[in-house]
Each structure stands twice: as C-alpha cells, then as structure tokens.
C-alpha cells in the first residue's frame, strides 16, 4: 500500500447511498463505510455494498449501529430487536446470544461486517436518557454476562462486535452528542463502569469504541478519552484498571456529529488527534472532507507527529479484522 492508502484504511465514513460510497471508495480507497439513519438503505437491499467491496482493492468494513431498541438503524428493512435493558430483564444470556446470532445473520446477508454493539455501559439512567435502556443494567456483573452473550451471538453469525463506550458513559454528566460529558473519577469507574471490560476485552476478534468522555484522574480537563493518549493507552495495556492488554481494533466514536468534539475541533484536526492518541480507526458521518483529512494526516506524518510505525500497527490490526491477514 502507498502511504495514503494505509491512512485511508484508518477511516470509516458515513455515506448517503451507493453512489456516494462508490465514489469515495474509488477516489480515496477508504477502509470502511458507516450506514447511518440518513443512508439510503437500498445500498444494502440491492447488494450494492457487496459489489462495491468486491471491487475495492482491500475489502471494506461495512459498519452500523444496531444495539436494538431505539438504536436500530435498519428497522425500516426489518432488522429489529429489543433494547439491552429489556433483554436483561426478559431473556437469559443463552437466549440473548441466540437472538444476537439471528440479528447478525440478517446483517451479514445485507453486507454488514461490523456492528457497533453491544453497549457495555453500566447505567441506572431512565430509559430515554442518552444511555438509559441501551445499558443492560447498573450491575457490572449483569452487563458483563449479557454484553458477552450478545457479542458471541454476533460472532456466531460472522459479524465483528464492538464494545462501547470505553471507559464508561453510563454515569456521565450528559450527552456527548450535545456537549461535554464528565464521568465520575477514574477510581469510581474502576469499581463500576470499567468492570465489564476486564472480561469482555479478553474475547478474541472484538473491537472497542472510545467515548468522548472527560474522566477525572485519567484524561485531565481538556481532551476527551477519544482523543487522549492516556485513556487509549489504558485500554491498550489494561494498566490502571486491571484489564487485559487489548490488541484489537480501537474505534473513535463519531468525530463530526457529536458536539463534545465537533464544537472544539474541525474534522481535519479531530481525526489526526484520534489517530495520534492511539485509535486505529477514526469514524465520522460524511465523505466530503475525506481528501482534506487525508492531506492533514500526510502532513502529520511529514512532521513526525504520526509515525509510519504507528500507522503500520493500526493497518495490520485492521487487515487482521478484515481477514486479509491471518498472522
């Protein structure tokens, strides 16, 4: 791969439909597509996304948010399931795994390869708050059991699960879509929000998404976890919360549509920040700025603030997740 092609593998971008996806894959060879609530879903039902991926030099990650409940982006085409909280209240872990496998098979047939689910947040928020019923429980042990079962079900169907939102959004101060979110101090997260990750990140073949969260005792007061080397370093090493080392793919949360980031940093600044901090993949919602983001990343490499070795490590992780590399 050329340097620019390697950098493009580290981008997953939202698309409006098949034409938008085909254009950006052909012109900039991005590593993945995000199917959002605004996407024309005929890209999936027509088989277009599989065709675009087959034509790509490197297979695409085709990603979606399907947690169930109110985060069911494909409900218009018949893919739906209960919320996490409802599953934990009405199903056993084994039943949850079977349900997730059934959903995963539907995603697989549509051409999806990665699901940004399950939500591993620990929360007692009321159902309609930002995390709310997206969380299985306010009990870390229950979250661990059910998130693991859901993830195993997706894997049974050939879908890569992505746990979110590290290091824990469930007791945060608000909604990162609309502004800055502060969590309880790291010492408190260690006994609650971070507990599920000690087990979940031992699973092979899973990803992790880092939230836009200010964590006292970890991130300082300015840089949220998603663009913070200390937070992503804790995820990678497990040090600081008793977790396992994690060498899977790390995704940023959306960098363009969430005010916790977008109100402070334009996308050409946010993406290099996320990748320098240690994320493998920067996620955002549109294709128009891909060329200028790649230009910014190349400048970062020229300046030495983003090293070739750092990029290569991420690209290897990404290609392993895609099944291109097996070593």
**Cα dihedral angle (120, 70, 113, 12), rounded to 10 degrees?**
-90
Question: Tens of pLDDT along 51-85?
Answer: 999 999 999 999 999 999 999 999 999 999 999 99
**CB proximity list for 304: less than 8 A, separation 6 or greater:** none
For the chain, give the mean pLDDT.
Answer: 97
Q: Distance between CA atoms of 10 and 251, rounded to whole angstroms?
A: 9
The class (CATH top level) of 37-42+64-322 is alpha beta
What pLDDT is attached to residue 176?
85
Q: Determine which one of 177, 193, 212, 254 is catalytic.
A: 177
Q: What is the pLDDT of residues 269-325, one digit of tens each?
A: 999 999 999 999 999 999 999 999 999 999 999 999 999 999 999 999 999 999 999
Cβ 155 vs Cβ 100: under 8 Å: no
> Mean pLDDT across the stretch 144-173?
97
Q: Is 155 in contact with 103 (CB distance < 8 Å)?
A: no
Q: What is the dihedral of CA 277, 307, 236, 12, to 10 degrees?
A: 70
Half-sphere exposure of 283 (CA within 13 A, CB side): 27
Length reported for the chain: 327
DSSP 28-83: H--SEEEE-TTS-THHHHTSHHHHHHHHSSSPPEEEE-EEETTEETTGGGT-----
Active site residue 177: yes
* Residue 86, SS3 per DSSP: helix
Q: How far apart are CA 296 and CA 267, in angstroms?
A: 10
pLDDT per residue over 14-62, tens digit each? 999 999 999 999 999 999 999 999 999 999 999 999 999 999 999 999 9
Boundaries of every domain in the chain? 37-42+64-322
pTM equals 0.97
Return the H-helix or E-strand segment holding 11.
strand 11-15
Write down the pLDDT at residue 283.
98
Identify the active-site residue in 253, 280, 288, 295. Answer: 253
Q: Can you tell me the distance from the alpha carbon of 252 to that of 6, in angstroms, rounded to the nearest whole number?
A: 17
3-state secondary structure at position 207: strand
The predicted structure's pLDDT at residue 187? 98
Residue 327's pLDDT is 73
Contact (Cβ atoms closer than 8 angstroms) between residue 69 and residue 117: no
Write the CA distances from 180 to 77, 185, 188, 225, integer angstroms.
34, 15, 19, 12
Mean of the pLDDT values across residues 114-133?
96
CA dist., res. 263 & res. 17, Å (int)? 27
pLDDT category at 178 given cuts 50, 70, 90 is: confident
Measured between alpha carbons, how far is 289 from 266 in angstroms, rounded to an integer? 10
Q: What is the pLDDT of residues 196-239, one digit of tens each?
A: 999 999 999 999 999 999 999 999 998 999 999 999 999 999 99
Burial zone of 311 (CB within 10 Å; 0-12 exposed, 13-18 middle, 19+ buried): buried
Q: Is 212 a catalytic residue?
A: no
Strand 61-64 with 114-115, pairing: parallel
Region 100-105 average pLDDT: 98
Residue 210: its pLDDT value, please?
Answer: 98
Task: Give SS3 for 177.
Answer: coil
Please compute the mean of the pLDDT values over residues 156-163 and round it to a whole number: 98
Mean pLDDT of 257-269: 94
Token output for 310: 């750092």
pLDDT of the residue at 89? 98
Does residue 175 surpass a pLDDT of 90? Answer: no
């Amino acid at each position: 791969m050329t340097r620019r092609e390697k950098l493009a593998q580290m981008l997953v971008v939202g698309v409006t439909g098949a034409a938008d996806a085909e254009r950006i894959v052909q012109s900039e060879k991005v590593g993945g597509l995000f199917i959002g609530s605004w996407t024309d879903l005929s890209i999936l039902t027509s088989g277009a996304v599989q065709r675009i991926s087959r034509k790509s030099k490197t297979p695409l990650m085709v990603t979606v948010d399907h947690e169930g409940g109110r985060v069911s982006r494909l409900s218009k085409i018949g893919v739906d399931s209960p919320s996490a909280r409802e599953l934990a209240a009405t199903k056993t872990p084994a039943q949850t795994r079977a349900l997730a496998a059934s959903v995963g098979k539907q995603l697989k047939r549509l051409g999806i390869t990665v699901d940004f689910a399950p939500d591993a947040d620990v929360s007692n928020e009321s159902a309609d708050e930002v995390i709310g019923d997206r969380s299985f429980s306010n009990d870390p042990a229950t979250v661990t059991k059910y998130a693991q079962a859901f993830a195993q079900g997706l894997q049974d169907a050939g879908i890569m699960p992505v746990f979110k939102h590290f290091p824990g959004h469930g007791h945060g101060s608000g909604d990162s879509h609309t502004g800055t979110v502060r969590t309880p101090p790291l010492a408190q997260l260690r006994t609650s929000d971070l507990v599920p990750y000690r087990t979940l990140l031992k699973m092979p073949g899973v990803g992790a998404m880092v939230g836009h969260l200010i964590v006292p005792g970890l991130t300082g007061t300015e840089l949220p976890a998603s663009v913070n080397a200390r937070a992503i370093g804790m995820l990678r090493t497990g040090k600081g919360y008793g977790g396992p080392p994690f060498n899977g793919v790390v995704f940023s949360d959306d960098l363009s549509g969430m005010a916790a980031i977008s109100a402070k940093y334009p996308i050409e600044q946010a993406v290099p920040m996320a990748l320098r901090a240690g994320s493998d993949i920067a996620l955002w919602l549109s294709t128009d700025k891909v060329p200028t983001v790649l230009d910014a990343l190349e400048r970062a490499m020229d300046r030495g603030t983003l090293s070739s070795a750092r990029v290569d490590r991420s690209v290897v992780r990404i290609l392993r997740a895609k099944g291109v590399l097996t070593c």
